[in-house]
Amino acid sequence: MNYNWNWHIFFEPNPTGAGTYLDMLVSGLLLTIKTALLAWIIALIFGTIVGILRSLPSKAASWIGFCYVEFFRNMPLLVQLFLWFFVLPELLPSGAGLWLKQLPNAPFWTAAIGVGLFMSARVAVQLAAGIASLPRGQKNAATALGLTTAQGYRYILLPMAFRIIMPPLTSEFLNTVKNTSVAITIGLIELTGQARAMQEFSFQVFEAFTAATVMYLAINIVVVTGMRFLERSLAIPGYITGK
Amino acid sequence: MFGNLDFDVIRRSLPYLFLDGMSFTLMLTGLSALGGLIFGTLIALMRLSGYKLLGRIAGLYVDFMRSLPLVLVIFWFYFLVPYIGQWLTGASRPIRVGAFTSSLVTFIMFEAAYFSEIMRAGIQSISRGQPAAASALGLTYAQSMRYIVLPQAFRNMLPVLLTQTIVLFQDTSLVYVLSIPDFLGAASKVAQRDGRLVEMYLFAAAVYFAISCVASYGVRRLQARIAIVR
Amino acid sequence: MIEISHVNKWYGPSFQVLKDCTTSVAKGEVVVVCGPSGSGKSTLIKCVNALEPFQEGQIILDGIKVNDPKTDLPKLRARVGMVFQHFELFPHLRIIENLCLAQEKVLGRSHDEAVAKGDKLLERVGLKAHANKYPAELSGGQQQRVAIARALAMDPIAMLFDEPTSALDPEMISEVLDVMVDLAHEGMTMMVVTHEMGFASKVAHRVIFMDKGEIVEDAQKKDFFGSPRSDRAQKFLSKILSH
């Protein structure tokens, strides 16, 4: 392969004048983490609400949950980000639209909310499945003790369902991290974006992408390890999940 | 609020959007799904082969691909494929590779990791008695896989494979980052040329939504039918 | 205490699970409900605290109409204890927490008060030493005794038992029945769905026999065991008692 490798490139100053190429990549990494965390919080909140809706006996509630999930699942994430970023400000009353367009950090907020809502549909599906997997008698027992539906969810169903869906939630969180890279298309210079920028400035394509790859792998290892730790600390003595 | 919108731009650009854009998208989706399924099945067979080293390599490949964002993988292959081509053909310089070929290689390699996990689950769901019965009849390992295990695994996993293909269909829109005119790319080109972002992106969203909805409805129907047959 | 009159219930448009069921349980009375599986006995008992809705007829519990939309069901259910076939302890809560949850959240008792009550009841069912364990660490018989204690912690005016011993290994049945016998001797109002005819002959005042959604026989204990009037009950008894 006639490619000129230059691993020292990371320690050479980057064209922005602020630090080295490595600094550039690290700032991208941090932005990826920040965006993913905010998106994940949004995904958990909305996903929990919609997941609960889907599990309720009320036909109307589960229909609303179904529509929500279908809406966010049947459009590419990229298209959804475009809708939030380019289309929404134009469709709002002009004042609100202008405010949105002038929002500082618009790509960041759009990415976090857009990816968050996209992922919330998947969290909802997982949670609804988790709730459905609990024995029917659990809900009956909670009800028979006089707990209201809300209390039953809060104290009995959700704590168990979330424990059960911990493994799929781990991969959904990793998907959230990966999906933030789609926001490169609306101008968010996160890790992939910085790698791309480095490639354009320095022409060291493979070094740039190798570094980004290593960083994504590192995120994966940290998250998987962390979640395994969390899973273990939440494990119930004597109880075998997923039997 | 729709006052100064011009939806006629959609009508005017329909031939371009569908004959160029959508046909690229569908072609890419179909061929990637096929290639991904073939490679994915091979990877799944490697993982289940019982040869430690082979299984290890296949497992590493799957974990590696699944750890990376698709956008990064698209960039990787965009720059890597010319060099791979050079290496394969023994040419003196990195060869020029078209946008379609480059994306096709990317998606096959990427999706193979995901399809392999589905096929692995499918193969593992077949009761051990099946390959045992096959060997009792004198079939070789390859024959029992080819005629007994894989067809059943494939049929059991068909709904999941199709759902993954719908995801793939949506994911192909990411070739946008290479400025390739797939359906979204074509819509975006028109949008920027005519300054009609709102109309074109709404239309693109509606088309993706409609196709994915119909397809996933079909998958649900299929799933229900399979559930009854079982 | 419990007045069930002309209750009809359908699943879907055509399948009738309860046909014109009428009976009652007086204060301090122990009534055993038996019958072949699918006879509707579990469904009937679940109608008493409105875990199952029914379409026609009415059930009055301590003067309050169960199927009145204005009835505060959680409050009513909190006053009736229920014990389930599969125990339905909450797996993520310690034994003592299982006993305290509804006391605190539904009855509004203080934590200390709830724990004191819980401890007393665990002592009574002989499981005080296990207070800090999780349900999955206990045997089936122990879990069912905890479930009885959990129901008693609410100071119920009546207890409903839905096949409390049929999920238990044979050697654990008696430890549960012993607790129930004690309870009956103390004058607790009890409605018990069970096949344990030994229990019925020891403590029941009346025995109800159900088949195909109908109450076929509703008799004093000695009449039922002496000479059941219906063929179906005779056949059932001979099957049950022959082994």
Angle at CA of residue B61, ends B60 and B63, nearest 5°: 65
* Statement: residue B7 has pLDDT above 90: no
- Measure C74 CA to nearest chain A CA, in Å: 4
**Tokens encoding A87:** 């289309």
In this prediction, residue A243 has a pLDDT band, given cuts at 50, 70 and 90, of very low
A145, C137: Cβ pair inside 8 Å? no
Angle at CA of residue A55, ends A50 and A56, nearest 5°: 100
Residues in B touching A196 (Cβ below 8 Å)? 75
Q: What is the pLDDT at residue B93?
A: 85
Q: Which of C45, C61, C90, C154 to mutate to test the interface with A (most CBs of A within 10 A)?
A: C90
- How far from the centroid of its chain's Cα atoms is residue C33's Cα? 10
Integer Cα distance of B84 and B77 in angstroms? 9
Contact A65, A58 (CB under 8 A): no
3-class state of residue A103 by DSSP: coil
Domain ranges of chain C: 2-89+158-241
Mean pLDDT, range B63-89, rounded to an integer: 92
Integer Cα distance of B200 and B192 in angstroms? 9
Contact A194, A27 (CB under 8 A): yes
- Measure A1 CA to nearest chain B CA, in Å: 7
- Domains of chain A, first to last: 20-234 (1.10.3720.10)
- Concatenating the DSSP letter of every residue in chain C gives -EEEEEEEEEETTTEEEEEEEEEEE-TT-EEEEE-STTSSHHHHHHHHTTSS--SEEEEEETTEETT-TTS-HHHHHHTEEEE-TT----TTS-HHHHHHHHHHHTS---HHHHHHHHHHHHHHTT-GGGTTS-GGGS-HHHHHHHHHHHHHTT--SEEEEESTTTTS-HHHHHHHHHHHHHHHHTT--EEEE---HHHHHHH-SEEEEEETTEEEEEEEHHHHHH--SSHHHHHHHHHHHT-
Nearest by CB to residue B208, choosing from A75, A179, A196, is A75
* Statement: residue A138 has pLDDT above 90: yes
Contact B163, B220 (CB under 8 A): no
Contact A100, A84 (CB under 8 A): no
B1, A91: Cβ pair inside 8 Å? yes
Contact B153, B122 (CB under 8 A): yes
A225 touches chain B (CB under 8 A): no
Which homologous superfamily is B8-229 in? MetI-like (1.10.3720.10)
Integer Cα distance of B180 and C208 in angstroms? 76
Residues in C touching A143 (Cβ below 8 Å)? 51, 74, 77
- Concatenating the DSSP letter of every residue in A155-167 gives IIIHHHHHHHTHH
CATH number for the region C2-89+158-241 comes to: 3.40.50.300
DSSP A3: -
Contact A3, A163 (CB under 8 A): no
Q: What is the pLDDT at residue A242?
A: 41
- Concatenating the DSSP letter of every residue in A177-223 gives HHHGGGGGGGT---HHHHHHHHHHHH--HHHHHHHHHHHHHHHHHHH
* Interface confidence (ipTM) of the complex: 0.92
Axis-axis angle for helices B23-47, B150-171 (nearest 10): 140
Query: What's the pLDDT tens digit per position in A214-235?
Result: 999 999 999 999 999 999 999 9
Q: What is the pLDDT at residue B50?
A: 85
Residue of A nearest to B85 (CA): A1
Residues of chain A that touch chain C, judged by Cβ-Cβ distance less than 8 Å: 135, 137-138, 140-148, 151, 155-156, 159-160, 163, 236-240
pLDDT cut 70: percent of chain B above it: 97
Nearest by CB to residue A79, choosing from B72, B76, B204, is B204
The dihedrals phi and psi of C109, each to the nearest 5 degrees, come to -70, 155
Enumerate residues 6+ apart whose C-beta is below 8 A from C116.
none
Query: What's the pLDDT tens digit per position in A37-90?
Result: 999 999 999 999 999 999 999 999 999 999 999 999 999 999 999 999 999 998
Query: What's the pLDDT tens digit per position in B123-150?
Result: 998 888 888 888 888 888 889 999 999 9
**Tokens encoding A231:** 């899973």
The better pLDDT of the pair A121, B8 is held by A121
Residue C211's nearest CA partner among C192, C236, C241, C240 is C236
